Amino acid sequence: MSELQALLKYQDVDAKLKKIEQEISSSEEKKKYFQARKFLENAADKLDAIDARALELKRLAQILTKKFIEMNEILKDLSNVDELIAEGADVSFYVKNAQALNDGMKTLKQDLNGLIDKINAAAEEYKKLKAQTIKMQKQYNEYKEKYAAIKESKKEASNAIQKELSEIEKTISPDIMAKYKNKRRENTFPILCALKNDRCSLCGMELPLASRSKLSGGNVIECDNCHRFIFSE
């Protein structure tokens, strides 16, 4: 058996392994497992973001509390305003203070309402994240087992194919085999294709005469466009 025949046979057997890999990869079990795993991997970052927001809300609450205390002190000063005015105090001074206090209370009320909205939003986000995390943790545990079971069910067939491939590989030069495996890892398949009308039969690129002349004697060349091995029938 020539090396070209060995390569073609290797690819035919490899196609069976590729089919098994695709069945596993496209399975609902894998999709659900990876979906849950990805969510759980990102959940910690989301929780950190909520924690950071909570600290910021706490800081704002402290600022508003300080403002409230300051306004209370002003109110204390105004509690005996009648007596002070009776003693000849400047009325306009207390009017200005009262107006400033009124404006400050309005602003404080707006800030408090805004803070409450942010606190409620953060609490709701945390509630949803917690519920999603619990759901995804269950999904992760369930589909991790199911995904493992699918891989295990294909293991015997996969091992048999791998064994057959190893035997064929012995008849193929190491450098060609290394290139084949590299293309396979890049998810290129099929890797070998025939020359048709001086073109790559898969991507349609025309090969120059100098390249086509290298195909004699069962040799293969790489397509400059799709990088597959091209052979002449």
pTM of the model: 0.68
- Please list the ranges in the chain whose pLDDT falls under 70: 1, 71-105
CA distances from 28 to 24, 31, 121, 227 (A): 9, 5, 34, 32
> What pLDDT score does 159 carry?
97
CA distances from 111 to 35, 71, 104, 118 (A): 40, 15, 10, 11
> What pLDDT score does 62 carry?
77
> What pLDDT score does 83 carry?
55
> What pLDDT score does 20 carry?
96
Give dist(CA 16, CA 19) in Å, integer: 5
What are the structural domain ranges in the chain?
Answer: 26-156, 182-231
> What pLDDT score does 213 carry?
87
> What pLDDT score does 54 carry?
76
